[in-house]
Amino acid sequence: MDSSNLTSRPEEGSEETHHSHNLPSAFSSAPTRPPIQTSSQKYAPSDWSGYFDEEDDIQIPDSDDVFHVYMAGTEGPVIFCLHGGGYSGVSFALAASKIKEKARIVAMDLRGHGKTSTQNDVDLSIERLCSDVFSVLKTMYGDAPPAIVLVGHSMGGAVAVHVAAKKSLPSLAGLVVVDVVEGTAMASLIHMQKILSNRMQHFSTPEKAIEWSIKSGSLRNIDSACVSIPSTLKYDDSKKCYTHRARLEETEQFWKGWYEGLSEKFLSSPVPKILLLAGTDRLDRTLTIGQMQGKFQMVVVRHTGHAIQEDVPDEFVTLVLNFISHNRIGPHGIEIPGLRRPPQSKP
């Protein structure tokens, strides 16, 4: 209905009829309506550089493997982030923009994901994934790495736990595991192939993939989806469309190894640790007992889906930084008040 027809009209024959065009409309002071966003505008991709400071390719010596990393921040401990299966390092983009104010952050594209290139993209065995993390850390920092706080989401959380449990990373100062628990993970494996096959496989544009991620509920934060989803896609020349970069359906033989024995390994990790969950139903018996014994900190994050770091990045950052502060993790490890560190000898 045209609002211009709703202005008050004087009765016919009245003297005011001749001056009605000078009367203000009842709607003349109404605010202008913002333009309606089209679907392509609402789900337009955004670039990682708005959140991270830089990206780099880490060439592993004596191999053809090149791991892509995103980095931000200049001081403090290194928060080293491992994404879930099918995600990428850019999954931590929104968190990085806040974390870099207090600490350094490195988010790596795991084998078979994002911009990482390896000789075998479908070897996602837990042994290989752990070896990749050690290789990247060694190549980046040599024999004198800074304090490392490992953060892992889903599959990346399993990798972080296994790396910590090996006790071969001397500078490891903390462990943050995001929404992965052995009991529920093992129980869900029988449904995983069906879940993978039921998801939309082909997208005409990155915008369509971003829109699908939100409407399917896999992500709940449009800002995060717009920056992270494009990095999970590859263009298929034969089909003239975009498809998923990670070939997870070809890695089923490794899934059990990610999660088997995870709870015991988590509890045995010799560093401060925190478990962030999207629901209390995810806690299994071993972790319930460990939590009651005070062996780790646990936080249930409300109003979020599986990807806590993407859905509620501000809350995720607050929890991670509070964990670091509470455990006095500095650039060189746990800092004990009153104890001065000896000066580093220069080579």
Residue 154 known to be catalytic: yes
Strands 241-244 and 202-203 turn out to be: antiparallel
**Rounded to an integer, what is the distance from CA 124 to the centroid of its chain?**
19
Closest residue by Cα to residue 321 from 142, 45, 79: 79
Distance CA 35, CA 138 (A): 51
Query: H/E element holding 130?
Result: helix 126-141
Q: Which of 154, 231, 263, 269 is catalytic?
A: 154
Using alpha carbons, list the distances in angstroms from residue 23 to 7, 8, 13, 15, 28: 9, 9, 17, 13, 10
Q: Is 231 helix (H, G, I), strand (E, B) or coil?
A: helix
DSSP state for residue 29 in the 8-state scheme: T
Q: Which of 179, 228, 231, 269 is catalytic?
A: 179
Residue 216 known to be catalytic: no
Closest residue by Cα to residue 153 from 314, 278, 285, 257: 278
Using alpha carbons, list the distances in angstroms from residue 175 to 151, 298, 302: 6, 12, 21
Residue 57 known to be catalytic: no
Q: Which of 91, 113, 306, 311 is catalytic?
A: 306
| 137, 148 contact by CB (below 8 A) | yes
User: Which region holds residue 290: left if phi is over 0, alpha if psi is between -120 and 50, else beta?
Assistant: alpha
Catalytic residues: 154, 179, 306
